[in-house]
Amino acid sequence: MKARDVVLVDAVRTAFGRAGKKGAFWNTRADDMVVKVIRELLRRNPQITPEMVDENAWGAFCQEKDQGTTLGRTSVLLAGLPETTAGFSIDRMCAGGMSALTTAAAEIALGACDVAVAGGVEHMGHHPMGASADPNPRFLTDRLVDQSAMSMGETAENLHDMFPEITKEMADEYALHSQRKAEQAKDSGKIAEMIVPMTVYTEHGWVVADHDEQPRPETTVEGLAELRTPFRVMGKVTAGNSSGLNDGAAGCLLMAKDVAKDLGIDYKMQLEAFAYAGVKPEIMGIGPIPATQKVLKIAGLKMDDIGLIELNEAFAVQAVAFMQEFGLEFPDDPRMNIYGGAIAFGHPLASSGVRLACHLMHAFGEHPEVKYGLMTMCVGLGQGGSVIWKNKQRDGQKKEKKEKKERTKKKKE
Amino acid sequence: MADKPTLFYTNMYESNVGKIAIVTMDNGEDYKKPSTLGEKALASLNETMDRIEADKDLKGMMLCGKHYIFAAGVDLMQIPFVNTFEQGRQGGAAGHAAMKRIMDLKIPTLAAINGVALGGGLEISLYCDYRTVSKSVTAIGFPECFLSLVPGWGGSSLTPRLIGPEKALELIIYNAMNQNRMINGSRAFEMGLADRMFEAVEFFDESLLFLESIIEGKETVERKPPDMSKLKSLADAARNFVDMRVHGATPAPYRAVELIEGACDLNRSIGECFAEEDRALGDLVKSRQCKASIYSFDLIQRRARKPVGRPQDVKPRPIRKIGLIGAGLMASQLAVLFLRRMGVPVVMKDIKQEFLDKGVGYVKGELSAQVSKRKMTQAKADYLGHLLIPTLDYSDFADCDFVIEAVFEEMPIKQQVFAETEEVVSDTCILATNTSSLSITEMASKLEHPERVVGFHFFNPVAILPLLEIIKGEETDDVTLVTAFECAKKIRKNAILVKDSPGFLVNRMLTRFMGDCIQMVDEGAEFEQIDDAVLSLGLPMAPFDLLALVGPAVAFHVGETLHHAWPDRFPISEHMKQLAEAKITSIYQGGGPGKKVNPKVAEIWHDKGDREFVKEEIVDRLLTNITYEIDLILKEKVVSDPKDIDTAMILGAGWPFFNGGITFYLDVEGYTPKVLQKVFFSI
């Protein structure tokens, strides 16, 4: 079997709400959020008809109730896609959406299908993390993992232990930059382009959920310094330098490049390589480092070749550790998370991987000079996932073609 | 307990085209308790309008309901407390005043009809500039005339001006007077009631986008001006239709036609039209017919849902297979019902193969009809057809849990088929009888297990009339009764518990009524005269047309049973006996207005008396006697509550809502006080 090139046509997301009764999505079902994203993708891309969608892949960490019953299939029926569209659900904790994306892409690459919707959703208000978990007691009795591995905040504290040079002040400073960049992106209208407004029911009537509830543009260094450290006495991890608990869905349209070309469909980026790597569960935040090393190797690229990076900021310490490893500029590298990250927008677990793709797609559009971009995230219980994309919104694209033609001409001559 | 009031909640949305107010009508309950509009709702609407009128930045308004419900009309529980013209008129005026504020807004307004929109709930949408409707809505309509009211919060005036008199009459008159038929979203869109129809999945989002493009001027709505040219003939036709239905017995539908006609005169201001509606409400809300309708509505919608007399704390036995004794028309209708509603194997037994073939043919035909009406898939029809097991042998009943007989109305035959059944079935198998008048106790008396016998009396046509009398014999035990009630629920019939007594309930009432009708003819009255007098009460069918439907032979047979029990009150008419024996099926020849008395019938009655009757006397005799009969029925505890009688007459005989069944009418019209020196009504 020969692999085909896979391209991303578009990506959108719902607004990210705060989890819980006060959040915009408290009375909204997760599957309805998924349906909204699927329909918006097709609405924005009318050249792709519902009949063309072969596969509908959705990641969700918690796969029960409104995220259960094979969400990838139920959302086909709920969204009004034809019954011929197949669908599945997938789980890799925080990287559920990323895995839906790479798995659907792999299907396309191997010729199993031509067009797929892939996305991720997490309604953390309806499904508090670990609420229905039943971990095997052997994890603890056989000392397979440290007790802290089950608590993401504690794994972040562990990471501070591992990198003592990353201080709480540095984590806070990083978080502040994330909030500022998010605010700028919001003011520029960039974020609104990514979000599909959705009418949602509340106890006080219908409202339109059209903006993220997590960002705190009013954040200051002083304010951050005063926050308590819930995971440890005299710890370093606070609500201010971590992502939040959120409700959200993000999805994208993927297709085979040759099919897109045949149909004259514009696409934004092309999948270059992806990789997942496992690490010790109690320092799961380190995951993006080996995953990125692995994907660079697969792609035959170096970090210097990467012009834009979207890293999911589960915790600031984990982002800073990544920056140190790859020699990025602290506290704010011009390549990294140019619209801010999960510390500002929030992290509805399985949806975040696809939010990264959505951000990268827009970042590529603003930076036609960039050729390659990376998205990467850490995963609970010790994994990292990384995907490299090639920018297909380069003004250089046409130039390249011209050059290629000229080169072939020269050869002929 | 009073329901929670519906409130209007306002949320401001900063859209791409400016600020839009999203107004939600919500009573804070789930969809099973629809939002209704009462006094508090109107106060809340007025507060909302204060806010919206004051906000100069607003570019538009969208009105929505809660999940699955837009608004289900006026709060009916307020109606019993309105007793004067002025109270009723003011109720109308208050609604008009509040809702007209929506109409007077300078910004574009949109009603997004996302769910049930009935009566006042539909009316409020008409004050908006535009309407969208969800494709999934199934209940849109004006039930007012069905309840002896008129759409009096703008519906009678705004509807014809929006979609023309023809469609307005369809909605307000024809649908309401056809068992309160409702329309769905697609029909509302076709009719022009809504300007756009969207899928339910993103209904509010798409409605908002529609409103935004109107605000932006990107989209305009083209409406055809309503065609008023045929107004006169349409209104006359509607009045004829109403006459046919109620024969003048309730004023509301006539008044509604009048209001629609008035509103089609575009020289009149909408304010004048609204004032007419207010006056109509003043007259109607206090009327006996309206009060009776609200009483009936409560009986059927609320009280009948929890059948009185169903034993509590007893678990029904499962019914996994049903046996039917007989393959005649009644049995075949029951087979269709059991197959469709219960989906369990039905064993149909008769004594001759040709009877069985006919029965099976009927069932398959009915199933195919469902397929052609697209109410069932072919595969489902095939499957259900396959569940029907015709047999000539009792032994096929062996594993049945519930066997019902529908054989000749002869006690020895019924006793025999039950005895033969008992030989093959388990000790717990229920034996039900569809007898219309024979004693359940006697039928059970020769069985080894008489406690398993229960009356299960349907009304013809089985598919249409929702009543089921469940009759308890002396020995019938609670588990048998509760299983019968559970079965009734599954086949979606309204069951009432009736004591084992000749004619049970509905047939006793109808037979008494019919007996008087025939006796008056014997004394000298004309058939047509009796029919006209009864129709003037608003009953759905003239007695001698009903006689043809039931069949004189069957009616005579029931009459004999009752005569046997109470010879004084249920005399046998020799003429009637001759009619039954002559196998004449109908008093009249032909139907409709041109019908004439069959000469053979006239021949039978050639020696009738020469007393002259006037309409008032006919009505008086019928109602006086039925008042006595009801009193006896209640004293004998055939049923325990006059409300059961009303429920039964509405659901089993189609007697109208606006009489409140019958006891409400007798109380209010003075028969009960005059005849019995009391009233039936109790809380």
Q: State the Cα–Cα distance between residues B231 and B91, nearest whole angstrom.
A: 29
The predicted model gives A8-30 an average pLDDT of 97
Could you give phi then psi for residue A168, rounded to 5 degrees? -60, -35
Could you give phi then psi for residue B588, rounded to 5 degrees? -105, 160
pLDDT in tens, B616-639: 999 999 999 999 999 999 999 999
Within 182-211 of B, beta carbons closer than 8 Å to A belong to 199, 201-202, 204-205, 208
Which chain A residue has its CA at the smallest distance from B12's CA? Answer: A207
Q: One-letter amino acid identity for B434? A: N
For the record, the structure tokens of A391 come out as: 């920018």
Cβ neighbours of residue B344 closer than 8 Å, sequence gap 6 or more: B319, B320, B321, B322, B338, B387
Closest CA to A7 of A79, A96, A115: A115
Confidence (pLDDT) at A413: 61
Judged by CB atoms closer than 8 Å, whether chains meet at A205 and B199 is answered as: no
Within 1-20 of B, beta carbons closer than 8 Å to A belong to 9-11, 13, 15
Could you give phi then psi for residue B132, rounded to 5 degrees? -115, 155
Residues of chain A in Cβ contact (below 8 Å) with chain B:
35-36, 39, 78-80, 197-199, 201-208, 210
Q: CA of B24, closest CA in chain A: separation in Å?
A: 5
Q: State the Cα–Cα distance between residues B149 and B147, nearest whole angstrom.
A: 5
Task: Report the predicted TM-score, pTM, of the whole model to 2 decimal places.
Answer: 0.92
State the catalytic residue, choosing from A177, A347, A362, A367.
Answer: A347
The predicted model gives B260-269 an average pLDDT of 96
Judged by CB atoms closer than 8 Å, whether chains meet at A39 and B22 is answered as: no
Rg over CA atoms, chain B: 28
pLDDT in tens, B566-598: 999 999 999 999 999 999 999 998 777 778 999
Q: Is B136 on the interface with A (CB under 8 A)?
A: no
Judged by CB atoms closer than 8 Å, whether chains meet at A205 and B15 is answered as: no
The predicted model gives A37-52 an average pLDDT of 97
Helix axes of B506-523 and B552-565: crossing angle, nearest 10 degrees: 100
Judged by CB atoms closer than 8 Å, whether chains meet at B24 and A205 is answered as: yes
Instruction: Please report which confidence band the pLDDT of residue B1 belongs to, taking 50, 70 and 90 as the band edges.
Output: very low
Closest CA to A318 of A162, A181, A169, A185: A162
Q: Is B26 on the interface with A (CB under 8 A)?
A: yes
The predicted model gives A159-170 an average pLDDT of 96
Q: Which residue has the tokens 């008032």?
A: B616
Judged by CB atoms closer than 8 Å, whether chains meet at A39 and B64 is answered as: no
pLDDT in tens, B528-547: 999 999 999 999 899 999 99
Interface predicted TM-score of the whole assembly (ipTM), two decimals = 0.91
Choose the closest CB to A36 out of B13, B15, B202: B202
Specify whether A94 is catalytic: yes
Specify whether A252 is catalytic: no
The predicted model gives A228-240 an average pLDDT of 95
CA dihedral A391, A394, A398, A403 (to 10 degrees): -80
Judged by CB atoms closer than 8 Å, whether chains meet at A204 and B22 is answered as: no
The rounded percent of chain A whose pLDDT value lies above 90 is 92
Q: State the Cα–Cα distance between residues B243 and B231, nearest whole angstrom.
A: 18
pLDDT in tens, B206-244: 999 999 999 999 999 989 899 999 999 999 999 999 999
Which chain B residue has its CA at the smallest distance from A208's CA? Answer: B13
- Chain A residues closer than 8 Å to B28 by CB: 203
Q: How many CA atoms lie within 13 A of B364 on its CB side?
A: 12
For the sheet containing B467-472, what is the strand order?
B388-391, B346-349, B322-325, B402-405, B430-433, B453-458, B467-472, B494-499
Specify whether A378 is catalytic: yes
| Backbone conformation region of residue B275, classed left if phi is above 0, alpha if psi is from -120 to 50, else beta | alpha
Which chain A residue has its CA at the smallest distance from B209's CA? Answer: A197
Instruction: Please report which confidence band the pLDDT of residue B308 belongs to, taking 50, 70 and 90 as the band edges.
Output: confident
Q: Where in B163-253 does DSSP place strands (E)?
A: 196-198
The rounded percent of chain B whose pLDDT value lies above 70 is 99
A276 neighbors A92 (Cβ within 8 angstroms): yes
